[in-house]
Amino acid sequence: MLFMVIETFKDNDMLPIYQQLQAGGRKLPDGLRYIDSWVEPNFARCFQLMEADDLRTFQSWALSWRGFGVSLEIVPVVSSAQTREVVAPFVAALQEDK
């Protein structure tokens, strides 16, 4: 499953996270895959697209970031392409009703 991870940095300060990344990298538990990320221009939040089959992998990963000035929100998401497949029959039915 895909997840959008929203990291909120305490006091808009992402330097402690980047310092940790340089020191030892971002250790991901087995089963958690990083896809891509985007950072707000004011450094308040980072949005990461990640993939995992088991939410417990996120729990383990989140615990490893305690004390670095970041809070995590983990939101399940569905790609636009997959959503179009689900929506297509409903759109077709609406067109038939016209």
pLDDT single digits (tens) 21-42? 787 766 788 999 999 999 999 8
- Confidence at residue 13, expressed as pLDDT on a 0 to 100 scale: 82
Residues of the chain with pLDDT under 70: 25-26
**Do 61 and 32 contact (CB within 8 A), yes or no?**
yes
Q: Which two tokens stand for residue 16?
A: 């402690």
- Confidence at residue 14, expressed as pLDDT on a 0 to 100 scale: 83
Q: Determine the 3-state secondary structure of 11 from DSSP.
A: helix
Query: CA-CA distances (angstroms) from residue 77 to 51, 52, 57, 65, 80?
Result: 10, 12, 17, 22, 9
- Confidence at residue 11, expressed as pLDDT on a 0 to 100 scale: 85
Domain made up of 2-97: CATH architecture: 2-Layer Sandwich (3.30)
pTM of the model: 0.79
- Confidence at residue 37, expressed as pLDDT on a 0 to 100 scale: 95
**Do 46 and 39 contact (CB within 8 A), yes or no?**
yes
